[in-house]
Amino acid sequence: MDQPQASITVRLSGRLARSELPAICERVTGLLERACPPVIYCEVATVAADAVTIDALGQLQLLARRYGCRLKLRDVSDELRELIEWAGLQRVLAE
């Protein structure tokens, strides 16, 4: 039996289209089904700070919780950090 993976890293970049969210979630679900780590890291250094990104991060957080793991953000821009705080999601979307 394979050892469980210590983490999964997902990278979001650019301006996400709402129509991309199901594919992103499907890809992450596939990763989680193969290896359910305690932490999923989401690199967001180059993703746009907008409502679609917040939606994507929220959906990824829900997926992580369904599989018993945590989502942690990496390389959060000041703009995205401010948007997360403005939306009141700083406890949900941790760094």
> Which one is predicted more confidently, 30 or 94?
30
* pTM for the whole structure: 0.86
What are 33-82's pLDDT values in tens digits?
Answer: 888 788 899 999 999 999 999 999 999 999 999 999 989 999 999 999 99
Pairing between β-strand 7-14 and β-strand 39-47 as defined by DSSP bridges: parallel
Indicate the pLDDT class of residue 2, thresholds 50, 70 and 90: very low
Note whether 58 and 29 are within 8 A (CB): no
From CA 60, how far away is CA 49, in angstroms rounded? 16
Dihedral Cα 77, 78, 80, 83, nearest 10 deg: 170
Assign 36 to helix, strand or coil.
coil
CATH domain 7-86 topology: Transcription Regulator spoIIAA (3.30.750)
17-35: average pLDDT: 93
Residue 3 pLDDT: 46
What CA–CA distance (Å, rounded) separates 58 from 84? 10
